[in-house]
Chains A and B, each alone.
Chain A
Amino acid sequence: MPEQLLTVLKLCLLALLYLFFLRVLRAVWAEVGPLRAASAQPGRAATLAAVAAGPAATAPARKGRSGRGGGSRSSRRQPSVPTRLVVVEPPARAGVEAALAGELTIGRAAGCSLVFDERFVSQVHCRVFVRDGSVFVEDLGSTNGTWVNGARVVGQMPARLGDRVQVGNLVLEVR
């Protein structure tokens, strides 16, 4: 086998390898690149737009710390520091509110700062307190748990403006 032929074949192999990578990059480009073919292939463009909208739609949720509550804050021109805890559910108790200052305990027991005699509320269910201008929710070993925006409270969970705190069948909004 002549050496030159082997060299040529080797270079062909390398060229093929990089051709493979080019095709991979082109496939990536087809999914993330600008929508050039919008007019040519309407059906495809629609799905691509949907792909592009997918991550964007979930982006605010992912930001977590900074994103959540920020939108409502700026659009409604409300004060940025939460001051009240307002009951929104059940309808019978809706509108009951308490000022957020220092520490609030929520439960059925008479000693709690907010007493709700409801079926799924424990005797001393949870506490809501303010520290350095931020509101935190901590479950106090309740039977049915405390939830902030549908996520179960573990330890001291921060709650921001507009967040919903669920205590048994009660839902309270931070305002």
Chain B
Amino acid sequence: MTATAPPTPAEPLPNVVAIGTRRRTTELGLLLLCSIIVVGAYALASLGRNASLPADILPFLGVILVLVVAAHLAVRRWARCSDALVLPIVALLNGLGFVFIARLDDQLAGLQATWTAVGIAAFILTLVLVRDVRILQRYRYTFGLIGVALLLLPLLPVFGQNINGARIWVAFGPVSFQPGEFAKIALAIFFAGYLVERREVLSVATFKVGRLNTPDPRQFGPVLLAWGVSLLVVIFERDLGSALLFFLLFLVTLWVATGRAAYVLIGFALFAVGAFVSWTQFSHVQDRVSIWLDPWVDPAGTGYQVIQAAYALAWGGTAGVGPGLGIVERIPFDETDFIVAIIGEELGLLGTTAVLVAFLLLAGSGLRIAKGAGATFGTLLAVGLTSLIAFQAFIIMAGVTRLLPLTGVTLPFVSYGGSSLVANYVLVALLLRISDQSIRRARNPVAAL
């Protein structure tokens, strides 16, 4: 331990330690503030509903603190230099979502609490297992196959289950889950790993079609295949929201890898064609579009959900009617797809804006992580993972507010749903790992490479 000795990889430089310590202090402060907000909202929802404080408020506070501190200590131990803001924002979204689920349905609240604990365990496990994000790059084709296999799983006759018109569930005995939620992470890893080594080839025109120069089409093969298979599968499973999500993931990763805006333009042209063709071919797409254009054609039937969501948002006004004071069971699937309408009713425009701001800050943190990772696999993966969360939040909130046709995906971290919660915690752990690694590499190039 002499002052002149160069630090070994096991001993990070002093400025790395300083950054890590400062970030973790910020994180802990924000997590405590977030716990206070969530417990306050929980108490207030109970006051509104039963005019009494919830009996389990102290155990509730205890459980929140245990979960939050466990996640924080895991980050402190295994990803010390990672971004300080991601975990508190995620905890806030998850906590607020839980408060509203608990206010709607006690039984679901118990399940959601269990899934949150499983999610945080998965978060910690991911941080422990994935010590270097480049390990994922090495297994990119494996992840591509896993992603497609997970997407195909619900189509199997025995395990696959049709729930609410979409065949996206898989049941193994008592446990059922949505493999698509995990498939999206596997595909993000595959796209990032494949495109990072082909970025040069794909960004320069070497192939002539008539008078147009395009990159060699052979290079696109595997990506287009994976993307096409996932899209077809999702269309046959009637899960339009996920199809849109995969398409956006593919476009954004390709765009960032090559820096060519032409890919985005071509992509959107392809999307327009695809959307039109599926609108003419599939009745369930037509239904969604006609409900979107005019839900009042069948206000008690197909349009019911969307109309009730609009009423809920309108009833909420600016500051909402108050937690626990809204009309329960007005909207079918209010605890999953339509949870943002419940938040809008009880906390008003300010509450829904808070949810939007939280996702905006989360996306901003994700993109900052990507920018810091410096032209590597980590950049592309961080961009892909961030766009998954951001676009999923956008797709469902736009659906609830009738900006887009409604497609049933969960609002990440807020909606009720075990698979979604666990998968998104794994996703966040990967983001933190990328962030941690890029800080260490920038300070200590020898140790990182």
Contact = CB atoms under 8 A, between A and B. Distances in A.
A and B interact? yes
Interface in B396-418: none
Contact of B19 (A12, A47, A61, A62): A47
A22 to B, nearest CB: 10
Nearest to A9: B44
A11 B34 contact: no
A61 B379 CA distance: 13
B351 interface: yes
Contacts of B29: 23
B77 interface: no
A65 B436 CA distance: 28
B41 A64 contact: no
Interface string A112-150: 000000000000000000011010100000000000100
A169 interface: no
A44 B347 contact: no
Contacts of A40: none
B200 A151 contact: yes
A91 interface: no
B142 interface: no
Nearest to B350: A14
Contacts, number: 139
B15 interface: yes
Given A10-B319, A23-B33, A28-B364, A62 B201 contact: no
Contact of B206 (A13, A32, A43, A156): A156
Residue picked from A1, A20, A65, A148, most chain B C-beta under 10 Å: A20
B372 interface: yes
Interface in A1-42: 1, 6-7, 9-14, 16-21, 23-25, 27-28, 30, 32
A157 interface: yes
B198 A6 contact: no
Interface stretch (B55-63, B125-133, B231-239, B320-328): B320-328
A54 B216 CA distance: 34
B199 interface: yes
B354 A14 contact: yes
Interface residues on A, range: 35 or more
Interface in B181-230: 197-201, 203-204, 206, 213, 216, 218-219
Nearest to A16: B37
Nearest to A11: B319
Interface string B9-20: 000000100110
Interface residues of B, number: 59
B36 interface: yes
B146 interface: no
Contacts of A17: 37, 92, 350-351, 354
B303 interface: no
B404 to A, nearest CB: 26
B30 A27 contact: yes
Given A13-B41, A32-B368, A154 B320 contact: no
A61 B374 contact: yes
Contacts of A47: 15, 18-19
A28 B368 CA distance: 10
Contact of B322 (A6, A43, A55, A65): A6
B54 interface: no
A152 interface: yes
Contacts of B22: 44
B118 interface: no
Contacts of B26: 27, 30
Contact of B347 (A6, A14, A58, A157): A14
A64 B323 contact: no
Residue picked from B85, B200, B213, B350, most chain A C-beta under 10 Å: B200
8 contacts: A10-B320, A13-B347, A16-B33, A24-B89, A50-B443, A55-B372, A65-B259, A155-B201
Given A10-B347, A28-B364, A32-B368, 20 more contacts: A6-B47, A7-B319, A10-B319, A10-B320, A13-B41, A13-B323, A13-B347, A16-B33, A17-B354, A18-B354, A21-B361, A23-B30, A28-B85, A47-B19, A58-B442, A65-B200, A151-B197, A154-B201, A155-B206, A156-B206
User: Which 6 A-B pairs rank lowest in CB-CB distance, beginning with the nearest?
Assistant: A58-B374, A54-B442, A62-B375, A156-B206, A47-B15, A158-B204
